[in-house]
Amino acid sequence: MNLVFFLIKNFMIGNLEVICGPMFSGKSEELIRRIKRAQIANQRIQCFKPAIDNRYSLDHIVSHSHLKMEATTLKTAKELFDYLEDHTRIIAIDEVQFFDKDIVDVVMKLVKRSYRVILAGLDLDYKGNAFGPMPELLALADEVVKIHAICTLCGEKATRTERIIDEDSQILIGEQNSYEARCKSHHLFS
């Protein structure tokens, strides 16, 4: 291990960035944009996603506009450490709301080990309630970016996700046939 890498790994402080908002707001797109900028700077990056997110690809982070980035699929948050490579400096995780509560400990361990961690996920579920580990991750973040979509009913700023099919479980993997972006005025649960 060269001296520069040793100094960077042992004396720099990590950083936690969280990108959040409703469905169709461009969270994955923003995550991919940040990954691509880091790649241009020749930084070592690894991308991860939960196994439950199988909408577009099993081994890629994919935006609704079909931008994509290769990713390792994880069944549990702790499994990330099994795939972590030595020279990685940036960890990107999409759909973080689907991970178990262990994701908070995993992320904070990475930050303490001087990694730049970039997360993207829904901050609220379809009922407008905090989603999974997101409240803790948002509270611990060094940077929070809340992205808005466009309400499908009125065209105003949408901060909510409306489920348009009859299903009550909090987690239902879907896209435009199951969900729409809505403003607070047109969100059923607001």
* Domain span at 119: 3-148
pLDDT of 5 > 70? The answer is no
Examine residue 85 and state whether it is found in any structural domain, yes or no: yes
pLDDT mean across residues, the chain? 89
CB within 8 Å of 176: residues ≥ 6 apart = 24, 64
Examine residue 190 and state whether it is found in any structural domain, yes or no: no
- The DSSP secondary-structure symbol of 95 reads S
Examine residue 187 and state whether it is found in any structural domain, yes or no: no
Report pTM: 0.87
The total number of structural domains in the chain stands at 1
Structure confidence at residue 88 (pLDDT): 97
Q: What is the CATH number of the domain that holds 63?
A: 3.40.50.300
The predicted-structure confidence for 100-141, as pLDDT tens digits, reads as follows: 999 999 999 999 999 999 999 999 999 999 999 999 999 999
For the annotated catalytic residues, the residue numbers are 95
pLDDT of 1 > 60? The answer is no
Examine residue 171 and state whether it is found in any structural domain, yes or no: no
